[in-house]
Amino acid sequence: MKFIHTGDWHLGRLFHNLHLTDDQRFTLEGLLRLVEAERAEALVISGDVFDRAVPPIQAVELLDDILAELALRLKVPVVMIAGNHDSPVRLQYLNGLVGRVGVHVVGEVGAEPRGVALRGRDGVEVVFWPLAYTDPETARCVLACDDIHTHQGVMEAQISSIRERMHAKARHVLVGHAFVTGATTCESERPLTVGGTGEIPRGVFEGFDYAALGHLHRPQSVSERVRYAGSLLKYSFDEADHHKSVTVVELGGGGSLSIKERELPVRRDLVRLRGPFSYLLNHPEATWSRDAYVEVTLTDSEAVLDPMDRLRDVYPHILSLRRETGTAGAGEGGGQTVRGRTTEELFGRFFHDVTGEVMSGPQEMEVAEVLAEIERSAREAAR
């Protein structure tokens, strides 16, 4: 049985105040062509389908178009879960209906995760086990289990319920949204927890023929059978050197596994340029970077007059301008001093700036709790 593993579409994402919907549509149309060319028998979307709980209309329409093509024209089943960016309830809206045409959506965590059994052309039966992302507090309630305090606990509780129902005749694929220890992160991922990392060890997935994971945006295998497909597009300049791809997976009846990476077409690439202003204005690579989204880092020590507008003549899609010194550049407040910091770290620095003191342990705990609460209520805004 052959299926395509994707994740982290982040439909409706704003990138430096630019809507990426047209870029996402362009790439997803490439995905539809790939599904056809590969004769894939299922498509997996491992969470973060949307970029936020209440996505813009254009993003909702885009998902509708793509799912309709898959389900109605190509007749390819879809297995899709909510990630930490999705609203659990909104994502699975209409799932009783779309399930009838083979679109299997799991937004909310359930006490007994249900498998989606599909049979390949080769007669191999594969059961997909979609597990929506959920935080430990919610899982503790829904699963009525007081012992769940970590993301590892959430995953283990659900997997132990699955193990009781895994039968040896079929192959088994877990679909999850999680941060596995040892995997490589990047800037466009929102941490799963406030305080701690939410990491889980890859051993949790032992016994599955394949774990199709989402959350981390760089395509990567964590072990032979545990893999992140990576995000649909590059969602931060920090990912300029990534090679985004989707994963074509073939599972044989005896448990044999083959994995191929396939790149999808992109409307505009992401490019980082660095150097003195006068050099960049006459940069030899300007012709290909004309079509790309560009971030420029100026290394000049003297002031440059109106650099953004003048660079825009050479790089029409320039989105970000920074200075090597680390002070705020035009087009992006804060500059690199804010990049890659967690909200807690930033608040800690703000606290220090205002009071001249370092936060105490209990104060840090207090802040972490408040931030976690804000995060939770943002995801559940639709309830």
In the block, residue with structure tokens 């995801």 = 379
How remote is the C-alpha of 125 from its chain's centroid? Answer: 28
Binding region for Mn ion (CB under 5 A) out of 46-54, 178-186, 270-278, 364-372: 46-54
3-class DSSP state for residue 4?
Answer: strand
**Cβ 53 to Mn ion shortest distance, Å:** 13
Binding region for Mn ion (CB under 5 A) out of 6-14, 31-39, 191-199, 264-272: 6-14
CA-CA distance, 374 to 383, in Å (whole number)?
14
Instruction: Number of residues interacting with Mn ion: please give it, by CB under 5 A.
Output: 2
3-class DSSP state for residue 126?
Answer: strand
Considering only 1, 2, 3, 8, the residue that binds Mn ion (CB under 5 A) is: 8
Per rule CB under 5 A, is residue 48 in the interface with Mn ion? yes
Would you tell me how many other CB atoms lie within 10 Å of the CB of residue 101?
Answer: 14
Binding region for Mn ion (CB under 5 A) out of 3-11, 69-77, 222-230, 358-366: 3-11
In the complex with Mn ion, the residue whose CB is nearer, 158 or 236, is: 236
Residue 252 in contact with residue 19, Cβ under 8 Å? no
Per rule CB under 5 A, is residue 295 in the interface with Mn ion? no
Sign of CA dihedral 377, 218, 196, 334: negative
In the complex with Mn ion, the residue whose CB is nearer, 232 or 318, is: 232
In the complex with Mn ion, the residue whose CB is nearer, 8 or 375, is: 8
Binding region for Mn ion (CB under 5 A) out of 40-48, 112-120, 128-136, 153-161: 40-48
In the complex with Mn ion, the residue whose CB is nearer, 191 or 276, is: 191
**Cβ 179 to Mn ion shortest distance, Å:** 10
**Cβ 10 to Mn ion shortest distance, Å:** 6
**Cβ 8 to Mn ion shortest distance, Å:** 4
Cα torsion for 362, 363, 366, 368, to the nearest 10°?
Answer: -100
Per rule CB under 5 A, is residue 23 in the interface with Mn ion? no
**Cβ 83 to Mn ion shortest distance, Å:** 6
CA-CA distance, 121 to 29, in Å (whole number)?
25
**Cβ 242 to Mn ion shortest distance, Å:** 13
In the complex with Mn ion, the residue whose CB is nearer, 49 or 98, is: 49
Residue nearest to Mn ion (CB): 48
In the complex with Mn ion, the residue whose CB is nearer, 8 or 23, is: 8
CA-CA distance, 328 to 140, in Å (whole number)?
43
Exposure string over 11-35, b if 16+ CB within 10 A, otherwise e: bbbebeeeebbebbbbbbebbbebb
Which region holds residue 331: left if phi is over 0, alpha if psi is between -120 and 50, else beta? Answer: left
Kindly list the residues in this chain that would bind Mn ion in the complex (CB under 5 A): 8, 48
